[in-house]
Amino acid sequence: MRQGSMKVSILLLCVFFCCALNANATSFSVGSYGAKGDPSVDDTTAFVNTWKAACASSGDVELLIPQGTYFLGQVIFRGPCKFNTITVNLKGVLKASTDLSRFGKGDDWVEFSFFNGLTLTGGGTFDGQGRSSWSKNECPTKKNCKVLPTSVKFVSLTNAEVKGVNSKDPKFFHFGVLQCNNFKASNIYLKAPEDSPNTDGIHIERSKSVSITASTIGTGDDCISIGQGNSDVLISGIKCGPGHGISVGSLGRYPNEGNVQGLIVKDSIIFGTTNGVRIKTWENSPSWSNVDNMTFQNIKMNNVYNPIIIDQNYCPYYNCDRSAPSKVKLSNIFFKDITGSSKSQAAVTVKCSQAAPCQNVNLQNVNLQYTGGSNPTAVCSYANIAFSGTKVPAECTSA
């Protein structure tokens, strides 16, 4: 057999086996369990019953949500389950109830939790219908506030992948990733108005081996926020704006927070945001924690306030306790090849903790032009910091 014919034969065999695997997946359609796909009809019970059947099935499973608009209250897709893997094929639009009493004690709308092998795909949309709830959100001004529902939360999943789905107008966060291991998201589109409160795109907490790639996020808070207890997080190919940029934190607010280590943010565009890449920690932290080994590289800023900012005096409230400095220790932080334009003259701000000065902060080939016409500046305090390569703004001296 000629080499070319052999390659074609191998390719055809691969296609055959892939199709055979898909054909062998047991499919459960929400329509078979009573869902109407009519926004005037509540389909919550139909979704719950479809999940119960899928969860009890063995092998590879598909949960199909055909085209249509489905009105839902709180829906919990929770394991453990018998299947090996499950593909949730979202073709339609899910619309959240605007009645906050429908969400019970939980702080989420749709939850996938406590099982392995999730793939969420299909090109469909989660519509949180958050506009009716944003005026009820007291969290921007009140420290001990009632948190509104996150649109989609992923909890204690292993080997999960989210690709090609959309979210709009959440009541609170779009997506939350909590205690997951090997979680991947790609080609997702998250959208909310610039003035919508606390509508973080993706919040990650206490998770390991997470990647967020090739996605577009425009919202009213952080495009992506990396909370406490995370390790080995990759963020790449993100278009972020409007919003508050890509943030680590806030950290140091609660006792016994986990360390954060091994973050890479690269090859992304941030535009029209209040911050670019940011690390934020609370003053007067109740306990010590560490942030180590973070790289922000090849990021283009376009009309961004605070393109590079480390803020260890973070507190968004008027009555902040500033009686002690932050107890979050930052070390080995690298900003490389960060270019573009800053809407604030202080294009680089590195304000570290007096109790634990930042160690080994490196800025290499940073070129950020101030849109106001004069020279940009760098403001630094309590930091062991080094500049190399292109230095715009000029390097600062630490207090």
Query: Nearest Cα to 40, choosing from 73, 10, 9, 71?
Result: 71
* Cα 368 to Cα 371: distance, rounded to the nearest angstrom: 9
DSSP structure string for 82-110: S-SEEEEEE-SEEEE-S-GGGGTT-SEEE
Quick one: which H or E segment has residue 208? Answer: strand 208-218
Query: Nearest Cα to 350, choosing from 359, 340, 339?
Result: 359
* Cα 338 to Cα 301: distance, rounded to the nearest angstrom: 7
* Catalytic status, residue 203: no
Query: Nearest Cα to 187, choosing from 162, 209, 158?
Result: 162
DSSP 8-state symbol, 395: P
DSSP 8-state symbol, 116: B
Which residue in the list 244, 253, 278, 351 is annotated as catalytic?
244
Active site residues: 244
